[in-house]
Homo-oligomer: A and B are copies of this chain.
Protein backbone atom coordinates (compact mmCIF):
# COMPACT_ATOMS: atom_id res chain seq x y z
CA UNK A 1 0.00 0.00 0.00
CA UNK A 2 1.46 3.32 -1.11
CA UNK A 3 1.40 6.44 1.05
CA UNK A 4 0.67 9.55 -0.98
CA UNK A 5 1.02 13.05 0.43
CA UNK A 6 -0.87 15.55 -1.71
CA UNK A 7 -0.84 19.30 -1.34
CA UNK A 8 -3.56 21.61 -2.65
CA UNK A 9 -2.81 25.31 -3.00
CA UNK A 10 -5.10 28.15 -2.06
CA UNK A 11 -6.60 28.52 -5.53
CA UNK A 12 -7.51 24.80 -5.54
CA UNK A 13 -9.60 25.18 -2.35
CA UNK A 14 -10.75 28.76 -2.90
CA UNK A 15 -14.49 27.93 -2.71
CA UNK A 16 -16.61 25.21 -1.14
CA UNK A 17 -17.37 24.06 -4.67
CA UNK A 18 -13.66 23.55 -5.34
CA UNK A 19 -13.24 21.81 -1.97
CA UNK A 20 -15.97 19.34 -2.94
CA UNK A 21 -14.16 18.77 -6.25
CA UNK A 22 -10.87 18.09 -4.45
CA UNK A 23 -12.75 15.62 -2.23
CA UNK A 24 -13.91 13.73 -5.33
CA UNK A 25 -10.35 13.57 -6.63
CA UNK A 26 -9.09 12.27 -3.30
CA UNK A 27 -11.78 9.58 -3.20
CA UNK A 28 -10.66 8.36 -6.62
CA UNK A 29 -7.09 7.95 -5.34
CA UNK A 30 -8.29 6.38 -2.10
CA UNK A 31 -10.20 3.75 -4.08
CA UNK A 32 -6.92 2.80 -5.77
CA UNK A 33 -5.96 1.45 -2.37
CA UNK A 34 -3.65 4.20 -1.24
CA UNK A 35 -2.99 5.75 2.13
CA UNK A 36 -3.79 9.41 1.55
CA UNK A 37 -2.49 12.43 3.47
CA UNK A 38 -3.54 15.86 2.22
CA UNK A 39 -1.92 19.18 3.05
CA UNK A 40 -4.06 22.23 2.35
CA UNK A 41 -3.34 25.93 2.03
CA UNK A 42 -5.78 28.62 3.13
CA UNK A 43 -8.80 29.19 0.88
CA UNK A 44 -8.16 31.70 -1.92
CA UNK A 45 -7.52 35.16 -0.51
CA UNK A 46 -7.99 34.24 3.17
CA UNK A 47 -4.38 34.95 4.09
CA UNK A 48 -4.46 38.34 2.36
CA UNK A 49 -7.77 39.16 4.04
CA UNK A 50 -6.31 38.35 7.46
CA UNK A 51 -3.23 40.47 6.71
CA UNK A 52 -5.63 43.24 5.71
CA UNK A 53 -7.21 43.10 9.18
CA UNK A 54 -3.82 43.39 10.88
CA UNK A 55 -3.01 46.50 8.84
CA UNK A 56 -6.03 48.20 10.39
CA UNK A 57 -4.54 47.48 13.80
CA UNK A 58 -0.80 47.89 13.45
CA UNK A 59 1.73 49.09 10.89
CA UNK A 60 4.18 46.54 12.17
CA UNK A 61 2.09 43.72 13.66
CA UNK A 62 3.65 41.58 16.35
CA UNK A 63 5.18 38.56 14.61
CA UNK A 64 4.07 35.93 17.14
CA UNK A 65 0.47 37.09 16.90
CA UNK A 66 0.69 37.38 13.12
CA UNK A 67 1.64 33.70 12.89
CA UNK A 68 -1.12 32.67 15.31
CA UNK A 69 -3.57 34.61 13.17
CA UNK A 70 -2.45 33.41 9.74
CA UNK A 71 -2.36 29.76 10.81
CA UNK A 72 -6.16 29.82 11.19
CA UNK A 73 -6.59 30.08 7.40
CA UNK A 74 -5.24 26.57 6.85
CA UNK A 75 -7.20 25.17 9.80
CA UNK A 76 -10.42 26.37 8.17
CA UNK A 77 -9.74 24.76 4.80
CA UNK A 78 -8.52 21.53 6.46
CA UNK A 79 -11.72 21.03 8.46
CA UNK A 80 -13.93 21.94 5.50
CA UNK A 81 -12.16 19.42 3.25
CA UNK A 82 -12.46 16.72 5.90
CA UNK A 83 -16.17 17.55 6.27
CA UNK A 84 -16.61 17.22 2.51
CA UNK A 85 -15.01 13.76 2.49
CA UNK A 86 -17.16 12.60 5.41
CA UNK A 87 -20.25 13.97 3.66
CA UNK A 88 -19.32 11.83 0.65
CA UNK A 89 -19.12 8.76 2.85
CA UNK A 90 -15.36 8.54 3.40
CA UNK A 91 -13.71 8.54 6.79
CA UNK A 92 -11.48 11.56 7.20
CA UNK A 93 -9.89 13.60 9.95
CA UNK A 94 -8.28 17.05 9.96
CA UNK A 95 -5.28 17.96 12.07
CA UNK A 96 -3.59 21.22 12.98
CA UNK A 97 0.18 21.42 13.37
CA UNK A 98 -0.33 21.29 17.12
CA UNK A 99 -2.23 18.06 16.95
CA UNK A 100 0.38 16.16 14.97
CA UNK A 101 3.44 17.77 16.47
CA UNK A 102 4.94 19.63 13.54
CA UNK A 103 7.86 21.10 15.45
CA UNK A 104 9.56 24.20 14.13
CA UNK A 105 12.64 26.27 14.88
CA UNK A 106 13.68 29.73 13.90
CA UNK A 107 11.89 32.98 13.34
CA UNK A 108 8.18 33.65 13.24
CA UNK A 109 6.92 34.07 9.71
CA UNK A 110 9.70 31.94 8.25
CA UNK A 111 10.34 29.08 10.61
CA UNK A 112 11.89 25.76 9.62
CA UNK A 113 10.39 22.32 10.24
CA UNK A 114 12.52 20.56 12.81
CA UNK A 115 10.59 17.32 13.08
CA UNK A 116 7.12 15.79 12.80
CA UNK A 117 5.79 13.15 15.17
CA UNK A 118 3.73 11.21 12.66
CA UNK A 119 2.35 8.64 15.12
CA UNK A 120 -1.09 10.21 15.20
CA UNK A 121 -1.18 10.45 11.40
CA UNK A 122 -0.02 6.81 11.14
CA UNK A 123 -2.76 5.73 13.55
CA UNK A 124 -5.46 7.51 11.54
CA UNK A 125 -4.10 6.06 8.29
CA UNK A 126 -4.12 2.56 9.76
CA UNK A 127 -7.80 3.13 10.63
CA UNK A 128 -8.42 3.76 6.94
CA UNK A 129 -8.91 7.49 7.33
CA UNK A 130 -7.94 10.14 4.82
CA UNK A 131 -5.80 12.53 6.85
CA UNK A 132 -6.04 16.28 6.19
CA UNK A 133 -3.28 18.48 7.58
CA UNK A 134 -3.34 22.26 7.89
CA UNK A 135 -0.25 23.35 5.95
CA UNK A 136 2.11 26.32 6.38
CA UNK A 137 2.33 26.00 10.18
CA UNK A 138 4.15 24.43 13.06
CA UNK A 139 4.71 24.83 16.76
CA UNK A 140 8.04 25.96 18.18
CA UNK A 141 9.72 24.80 21.37
CA UNK A 142 7.90 27.51 23.36
CA UNK A 143 4.58 26.05 22.23
CA UNK A 144 3.88 29.04 20.01
CA UNK A 145 2.38 28.72 16.56
CA UNK A 146 4.81 29.64 13.79
CA UNK A 147 4.39 29.78 10.03
CA UNK A 148 6.81 28.59 7.38
CA UNK A 149 6.61 31.62 5.09
CA UNK A 150 4.56 32.10 1.96
CA UNK A 151 4.17 28.87 0.05
CA UNK A 152 5.20 26.95 3.15
CA UNK A 153 2.49 24.36 2.63
CA UNK A 154 4.71 22.82 -0.06
CA UNK A 155 7.34 22.28 2.60
CA UNK A 156 4.73 20.83 5.01
CA UNK A 157 3.80 18.29 2.31
CA UNK A 158 7.38 17.28 1.48
CA UNK A 159 8.26 16.97 5.17
CA UNK A 160 5.26 14.69 5.75
CA UNK A 161 6.24 12.62 2.71
CA UNK A 162 9.76 12.26 4.12
CA UNK A 163 8.53 11.16 7.54
CA UNK A 164 5.84 8.83 6.17
CA UNK A 165 8.18 7.48 3.47
CA UNK A 166 5.57 8.38 0.92
CA UNK A 167 5.28 10.06 -2.45
CA UNK A 168 4.62 13.75 -2.76
CA UNK A 169 2.21 15.41 -5.18
CA UNK A 170 1.75 19.18 -5.34
CA UNK A 171 -1.50 20.34 -6.96
CA UNK A 172 -1.77 23.91 -8.05
CA UNK A 173 -3.24 26.14 -10.75
CA UNK A 174 -0.52 25.43 -13.32
CA UNK A 175 -0.27 22.11 -15.07
CA UNK A 176 3.46 21.54 -14.62
CA UNK A 177 6.91 23.05 -14.95
CA UNK A 178 7.72 24.63 -18.30
CA UNK A 179 11.07 25.20 -19.97
CA UNK A 180 10.14 28.87 -20.12
CA UNK A 181 7.20 30.90 -18.84
CA UNK A 182 4.28 30.00 -21.13
CA UNK A 183 2.84 33.49 -20.64
CA UNK A 184 6.00 34.94 -22.20
CA UNK A 185 6.68 32.30 -24.82
CA UNK A 186 3.64 30.54 -26.22
CA UNK A 187 5.50 27.55 -27.57
CA UNK A 188 7.08 26.80 -24.19
CA UNK A 189 7.33 23.07 -23.61
CA UNK A 190 6.15 21.35 -20.46
CA UNK A 191 8.85 19.20 -18.89
CA UNK A 192 8.16 15.60 -18.03
CA UNK A 193 11.03 15.62 -15.52
CA UNK A 194 13.23 18.26 -13.99
CA UNK A 195 16.15 17.83 -11.60
CA UNK A 196 16.03 19.31 -8.11
CA UNK A 197 18.98 21.62 -8.86
CA UNK A 198 17.43 22.89 -12.04
CA UNK A 199 14.13 23.50 -10.27
CA UNK A 200 15.93 25.42 -7.52
CA UNK A 201 17.71 27.62 -10.03
CA UNK A 202 14.46 28.29 -11.86
CA UNK A 203 12.68 29.03 -8.57
CA UNK A 204 15.40 31.48 -7.52
CA UNK A 205 15.00 33.17 -10.91
CA UNK A 206 11.35 33.85 -10.28
CA UNK A 207 9.51 30.68 -11.38
CA UNK A 208 7.03 30.71 -8.50
CA UNK A 209 5.53 27.28 -8.97
CA UNK A 210 7.33 25.73 -6.01
CA UNK A 211 8.55 26.90 -2.63
CA UNK A 212 12.37 26.55 -2.89
CA UNK A 213 12.75 25.08 0.57
CA UNK A 214 10.38 22.26 -0.29
CA UNK A 215 12.55 21.35 -3.29
CA UNK A 216 15.72 21.44 -1.16
CA UNK A 217 14.05 19.19 1.41
CA UNK A 218 12.88 16.75 -1.26
CA UNK A 219 16.39 16.72 -2.70
CA UNK A 220 17.95 16.04 0.69
CA UNK A 221 15.79 12.94 1.20
CA UNK A 222 15.50 12.12 -2.50
CA UNK A 223 11.69 12.28 -2.55
CA UNK A 224 10.29 12.84 -6.03
CA UNK A 225 7.67 15.60 -6.26
CA UNK A 226 4.90 15.54 -8.81
CA UNK A 227 3.65 19.02 -9.77
CA UNK A 228 0.37 19.28 -11.64
CA UNK A 229 -3.02 20.88 -12.12
CA UNK A 230 -5.51 20.05 -9.36
CA UNK A 231 -8.52 17.88 -10.19
CA UNK A 232 -7.33 17.21 -13.71
CA UNK A 233 -5.99 14.32 -15.80
CA UNK A 234 -3.40 16.51 -17.54
CA UNK A 235 0.04 15.07 -16.89
CA UNK A 236 2.32 17.36 -14.88
CA UNK A 237 6.04 17.38 -14.14
CA UNK A 238 8.12 15.24 -11.80
CA UNK A 239 10.95 16.90 -9.90
CA UNK A 240 13.57 14.31 -9.02
CA UNK A 241 17.28 13.61 -8.75
CA UNK A 242 19.68 13.34 -11.66
CA UNK A 243 20.56 9.72 -10.99
CA UNK A 244 16.97 8.90 -11.95
CA UNK A 245 17.23 10.85 -15.19
CA UNK A 246 18.64 10.10 -18.58
CA UNK A 247 22.21 11.34 -18.50
CA UNK A 248 22.02 12.07 -22.18
CA UNK A 249 19.29 14.61 -21.43
CA UNK A 250 19.58 17.94 -23.08
CA UNK A 251 21.99 20.54 -21.76
CA UNK A 252 19.47 23.31 -21.16
CA UNK A 253 16.22 22.50 -19.39
CA UNK A 254 14.75 25.84 -18.63
CA UNK A 255 14.80 29.54 -19.39
CA UNK A 256 13.68 32.33 -17.10
CA UNK A 257 13.58 36.09 -17.33
CA UNK A 258 13.15 38.76 -14.69
CA UNK A 259 12.37 42.43 -15.32
CA UNK A 260 12.29 43.61 -11.74
CA UNK A 261 15.95 44.53 -11.34
CA UNK A 262 17.90 47.57 -12.42
CA UNK A 263 21.63 47.83 -12.81
CA UNK A 264 23.85 50.39 -11.14
CA UNK A 265 27.35 51.16 -12.28
CA UNK A 266 29.74 53.04 -10.02
CA UNK A 267 32.75 54.49 -11.80
CA UNK A 268 36.16 55.57 -10.60
CA UNK A 269 36.13 53.85 -7.24
CA UNK A 270 39.56 53.45 -5.64
CA UNK A 271 40.89 50.00 -6.50
CA UNK A 272 40.88 48.86 -2.89
CA UNK A 273 39.22 45.66 -1.73
CA UNK A 274 38.38 47.20 1.64
CA UNK A 275 36.32 49.95 0.10
CA UNK A 276 34.36 47.51 -2.06
CA UNK A 277 33.68 45.14 0.79
CA UNK A 278 32.64 48.05 2.98
CA UNK A 279 30.24 49.20 0.26
CA UNK A 280 28.62 45.78 -0.21
CA UNK A 281 28.45 45.17 3.53
CA UNK A 282 26.49 48.38 4.04
CA UNK A 283 24.14 47.46 1.21
CA UNK A 284 23.64 43.99 2.69
CA UNK A 285 22.91 45.42 6.12
CA UNK A 286 19.95 47.27 4.57
CA UNK A 287 18.69 43.85 3.33
CA UNK A 288 19.07 45.01 -0.27
CA UNK A 289 19.38 41.94 -2.39
CA UNK A 290 22.32 42.46 -4.76
CA UNK A 291 22.34 39.92 -7.52
CA UNK A 292 24.78 40.20 -10.41
CA UNK A 293 28.08 41.86 -9.64
CA UNK A 294 30.77 42.52 -12.20
CA UNK A 295 33.93 44.50 -11.95
CA UNK A 296 36.10 45.65 -14.78
CA UNK A 297 39.85 45.32 -14.58
CA UNK A 298 41.33 48.32 -12.76
CA UNK A 299 42.49 51.27 -14.88
CA UNK A 300 45.40 52.63 -12.92
CA UNK A 301 44.17 52.98 -9.37
CA UNK A 302 40.49 53.28 -10.29
CA UNK A 303 37.91 50.57 -10.86
CA UNK A 304 34.32 50.42 -12.26
CA UNK A 305 31.81 48.09 -10.60
CA UNK A 306 28.29 47.16 -11.74
CA UNK A 307 25.57 45.25 -9.94
CA UNK A 308 21.84 44.67 -10.08
CA UNK A 309 19.28 45.32 -7.34
CA UNK A 310 15.47 45.25 -7.17
CA UNK A 311 13.99 48.48 -8.46
CA UNK A 312 12.23 49.08 -5.14
CA UNK A 313 15.55 49.33 -3.29
CA UNK A 314 17.03 52.05 -5.52
CA UNK A 315 16.60 55.05 -3.19
CA UNK A 316 18.06 53.30 -0.18
CA UNK A 317 20.99 52.05 -2.24
CA UNK A 318 21.73 55.53 -3.65
CA UNK A 319 21.90 56.93 -0.10
CA UNK A 320 24.72 54.52 0.63
CA UNK A 321 26.55 55.06 -2.65
CA UNK A 322 26.69 58.83 -2.09
CA UNK A 323 28.96 58.20 0.90
CA UNK A 324 31.48 56.57 -1.44
CA UNK A 325 31.47 58.72 -4.54
CA UNK A 326 30.03 61.80 -6.23
CA UNK A 327 26.69 61.72 -8.07
CA UNK A 328 28.42 61.96 -11.48
CA UNK A 329 30.07 58.60 -10.97
CA UNK A 330 26.78 56.74 -10.41
CA UNK A 331 24.96 55.44 -13.49
CA UNK A 332 21.58 53.79 -13.31
CA UNK A 333 20.20 51.56 -16.04
CA UNK A 334 16.54 50.71 -15.59
CA UNK A 335 16.24 49.18 -19.02
CA UNK A 336 17.49 45.67 -18.22
CA UNK A 337 16.10 42.15 -18.20
CA UNK A 338 17.88 39.27 -16.51
CA UNK A 339 17.88 36.38 -18.93
CA UNK A 340 18.83 32.94 -17.56
CA UNK A 341 19.36 29.47 -18.97
CA UNK A 342 19.30 26.56 -16.53
CA UNK A 343 20.33 22.98 -17.15
CA UNK A 344 22.02 20.20 -15.28
CA UNK A 345 23.58 19.22 -18.59
CA UNK A 346 25.55 22.46 -18.58
CA UNK A 347 27.86 20.80 -16.06
CA UNK A 348 29.01 18.34 -18.69
CA UNK A 349 28.24 20.10 -21.93
CA UNK A 350 30.58 22.88 -22.82
CA UNK A 351 29.57 25.49 -25.26
CA UNK A 352 26.15 26.53 -23.95
CA UNK A 353 27.47 29.99 -23.15
CA UNK A 354 29.28 30.13 -26.50
CA UNK A 355 26.12 29.22 -28.46
CA UNK A 356 24.11 31.74 -26.48
CA UNK A 357 26.54 34.55 -27.13
CA UNK A 358 26.72 33.62 -30.80
CA UNK A 359 22.94 33.81 -31.33
CA UNK A 360 22.79 37.03 -29.30
CA UNK A 361 25.56 38.63 -31.32
CA UNK A 362 23.98 37.54 -34.63
CA UNK A 363 20.74 39.17 -33.51
CA UNK A 364 22.60 42.23 -32.22
CA UNK A 365 21.40 41.65 -28.66
CA UNK A 366 23.75 43.50 -26.36
CA UNK A 367 24.87 41.58 -23.26
CA UNK A 368 25.48 44.06 -20.46
CA UNK A 369 26.50 41.75 -17.61
CA UNK A 370 27.08 38.04 -17.15
CA UNK A 371 27.05 35.74 -14.12
CA UNK A 372 27.14 31.98 -14.05
CA UNK A 373 26.75 29.05 -11.69
CA UNK A 374 27.55 25.41 -12.39
CA UNK A 375 24.18 24.85 -14.00
CA UNK A 376 23.06 28.36 -14.88
CA UNK A 377 24.09 31.28 -17.05
CA UNK A 378 22.47 34.68 -16.58
CA UNK A 379 22.89 37.71 -18.83
CA UNK A 380 21.58 41.22 -18.33
CA UNK A 381 20.15 42.40 -21.63
CA UNK A 382 17.98 45.31 -22.75
CA UNK A 383 14.27 45.02 -21.95
CA UNK A 384 13.48 45.56 -25.62
CA UNK A 385 15.49 42.52 -26.60
CA UNK A 386 13.69 40.14 -24.23
CA UNK A 387 11.11 38.65 -26.61
CA UNK A 388 13.70 38.21 -29.34
CA UNK A 389 16.11 36.57 -26.90
CA UNK A 390 13.51 34.13 -25.55
CA UNK A 391 12.49 33.19 -29.04
CA UNK A 392 16.02 32.59 -30.29
CA UNK A 393 17.18 30.69 -27.22
CA UNK A 394 14.07 28.51 -27.08
CA UNK A 395 14.67 27.47 -30.66
CA UNK A 396 18.41 26.98 -30.25
CA UNK A 397 18.11 24.84 -27.11
CA UNK A 398 14.79 23.18 -27.99
CA UNK A 399 12.89 24.48 -24.93
Interface residues of A (CB under 8 A from B): 16-17, 19-20, 50, 53-54, 56-62, 64-66, 68-69, 71-72, 75-76, 78-80, 82-84, 86-87, 93-94, 96, 98-99, 120, 143-145
Question: Which chain B residue shows the least CB distance to A17?
Answer: B56
Q: Given contacts A99-B143, A120-B143, is CB(A61)–CB(B83) below 8 Å?
A: yes
> Once the chains are docked, how many angstroms separate the CA of A78 from the CA of B64?
12
> Once the chains are docked, how many angstroms separate the CA of A145 from the CA of B86?
17
Inter-subunit contact A65/B53 (CB<8 Å)? no
Q: How many copies does the complex hold?
A: 2
**Please, which residues of chain B bring their CB within 8 A of the CB of A99?**
98, 143-144
Inter-subunit contact A58/B86 (CB<8 Å)? yes
Q: Given contacts A57-B16, A76-B72, A120-B143, is CB(A64)–CB(B93) below 8 Å?
A: yes
Contact among B56, B68, B82 for A62, CB-based, below 8 A: B82
Residue among A58, A65, A72, A87 facing the most chain B CB atoms (10 A cut-off): A65
Contact among B19, B58, B71, B145 for A83, CB-based, below 8 A: B58
Question: Which chain B residue shows the least CB distance to A70?
Answer: B79
> Once the chains are docked, how many angstroms separate the CA of A344 from the CA of B67?
49
Question: Which chain B residue shows the least CB distance to A88?
Answer: B58
**A contact patch SS:** helix
Contact among B57, B76, B82, B93 for A84, CB-based, below 8 A: B57
**Please, which residues of chain B bring their CB within 8 A of the CB of A120?**
143
> Once the chains are docked, how many angstroms separate the CA of A60 from the CA of B87?
8
**Please, which residues of chain B bring their CB within 8 A of the CB of A64?**
93
> Once the chains are docked, how many angstroms separate the CA of A16 from the CA of B82?
31
Inter-subunit contact B80/A54 (CB<8 Å)? yes
Inter-subunit contact A53/B68 (CB<8 Å)? no
Inter-subunit contact B65/A69 (CB<8 Å)? no
User: In angstroms, how far is the closest chain B Cβ from the Cβ of A232?
Assistant: 21
Question: Which chain B residue shows the least CB distance to A82?
Answer: B65
> Once the chains are docked, how many angstroms separate the CA of A60 from the CA of B16?
15
> Once the chains are docked, how many angstroms separate the CA of A54 from the CA of B43?
14
| Sample of 18 A–B contacts (CB below 8 Å) | A19-B57, A50-B76, A54-B83, A57-B83, A57-B87, A58-B87, A59-B87, A62-B86, A62-B87, A64-B93, A65-B82, A65-B94, A68-B75, A68-B82, A68-B96, A72-B75, A72-B76, A96-B98
Contact among B69, B75, B79, B86 for A79, CB-based, below 8 A: B69
> Once the chains are docked, how many angstroms separate the CA of A71 from the CA of B71?
12
> Once the chains are docked, how many angstroms separate the CA of A96 from the CA of B337?
48
**Please, which residues of chain B bring their CB within 8 A of the CB of A65?**
79-80, 82-83, 86, 94
User: In angstroms, how far is the closest chain B Cβ from the Cβ of A75?
Assistant: 5
Question: Which chain B residue shows the least CB distance to A93?
Answer: B64
Contact among B68, B75, B80, B98 for A57, CB-based, below 8 A: B80
Residue among A17, A82, A144 facing the most chain B CB atoms (10 A cut-off): A82
